[in-house]
Amino acid sequence: MRTTRRVAGIDSSTQSCKLVILDADTGELLHSSALPHPDGTELAPQRWWDAFEGVGATNLTDIDALAITAQQHSTIFLDGNGEVIRDAILWNDSRAISQGLSLRAALGPGWWAREIGVLPGAAHPISKLRWLAEAEPEHAQRLQSVMLPHDWLTWNLRGGARAGVEPTTDRSDASSTGYWSPTLREYLPDLITLALGHNVRVPRVLNPNEPAGHLPGGVLVAPGLGDNAATHLGLGSLVGEVVVSIGTSLTISVTWPNPLRDETGRVDDMADAMDSYLPIVVSLNGARTLSATARMLGVSLGDLDRLAREAASDACGLTFLPFLDGERTPLLPGSTGSLVGLTRESMTAENLARAAILGMANSVAQGLEDLQLAGARCDSITVVGGGARSSALRQAIADLTGLDVAYPQPLEYAARGAAYQAARIAHGTLPRWKRTVQEHHRPASPLSWVDRVRASHREVCARLFLSA
């Protein structure tokens, strides 16, 4: 007979599907498995389900509860029978940028910021709906239901259309769509019609403590949540604690008790998985910036980190804009990575490595500034994700932001956050799981070079991409 209470969390991220099983009382990791997802910005949802099955998520019996988290914004299009009608369009696909801008103009930035919390961009499902109506009208006419990955996986796990199951979601993922209002706590169907030309079915938004249902064996299925909200839950983040997640994307977010209103569109004011808010700044260029730089230099990631630590603090004036996949914040979808300031002195492997590190750290510093300008308090930074393994990057973030940076024990924090939600709902109490900080980074001094680096990145970006 089982003596421990066990819960599972599944994270269907851009790169992979991860399953963790934890002791519900202590948070101790009991089991984990993972499988990769194909690369790209468009994907058949079946590929997510294949990995979901492959990690064992459809065969969990010796647990009390589970929850699913997944990449946000990625959009799944379904017909009236619940069948997928085309490949899903992922969050990092830029095809719908003009449609997002037209939606912004239709109602005005102030309205979107006040009523929805986000200004439509290429990432948001509402923009993808308008793109579908304009680019693929035959698919738009068939479209009867829209889901995000965590909604779709939860629905299918519970039986989907074949079992007549009602699709559900949670407030954190609903708030990323562009047609759900965090303040009103309801969908605005007129926005869907504005984008698509007709209304569609959307998942019912569950309350934070409301289960989605139970599996035949009695396992409770929690509502699930978006991956950014899950990471905050998995860390147990506090109000004012900025979480920098360095995965496929680079996200800078903070738990905040009240809604913010950013009419610039740089901050998406989304909901968290409880009763607060999660203002967030998103860059398309995360850990792959480091891997691409290492590949260019013909070194390992460990050697890239060593080279960056051996370089001059300011990379001898070398400035790297890491817009390798275009950029979402700032809104520069047609931009490319740029390396400026090459001289015989600066043109070394060490300075190139350092410039890449500084480019990413500057994105974090700018995101932090955007959060503060929108009204959030930023007290400290916690960094997670694959790119957070770089000690040179962690220190550069501390130096360029002027804040202490904590690097916790490397864990799958989004999957852990999903398991936390499952434990909270199944057992009716807030789990008291410990967070182990592996390393602290404090801003070095003196930092006379920091202002030069920040100014150089602003000047180069304005000259290359904003002057027109």
Active site residues: 227
| Coil, helix or strand at residue 236 | coil
Contact between 226 and 69 under an 8 Å Cβ cutoff? The reply is: yes
Q: Residue 455 CB: number of other CB atoms within 10 A? A: 11
Q: Residue 436 CB: number of other CB atoms within 10 A? A: 7
Contact between 272 and 421 under an 8 Å Cβ cutoff? The reply is: no
Q: Residue 316 CB: number of other CB atoms within 10 A? A: 18
Residues linked to residue 283 through DSSP beta bridges, in sequence order: 250
The amino acid occupying position 239 is V
φ, ψ (nearest 5 deg) of residue 253:
-140, 160
The amino acid occupying position 226 is G
Rounded to whole angstroms, how far apart are CA atoms 313 and 452? 11
| Coil, helix or strand at residue 309 | helix
| Coil, helix or strand at residue 73 | coil
Rounded to whole angstroms, how far apart are CA atoms 384 and 245? 5
Rounded to whole angstroms, how far apart are CA atoms 336 and 320? 11
Rounded to whole angstroms, how far apart are CA atoms 293 and 433? 37
φ, ψ (nearest 5 deg) of residue 127:
-70, -35
- The string of DSSP codes covering 104-171 is HHHH-HHHHHHHTSS---TTSHHHHHHHHHHH-HHHHHH--EEE-HHHHHHHHHTTGGGGTPPPEE-H
**Count of positions (residues) in the chain:** 468
CB burial string 177-202: b at 16+ within 10 A, e below: bbbbbbeeeebbeebbebbbbeebbb
Residue (of 83, 74, 85, 93) closest to 12 by Cα position: 74
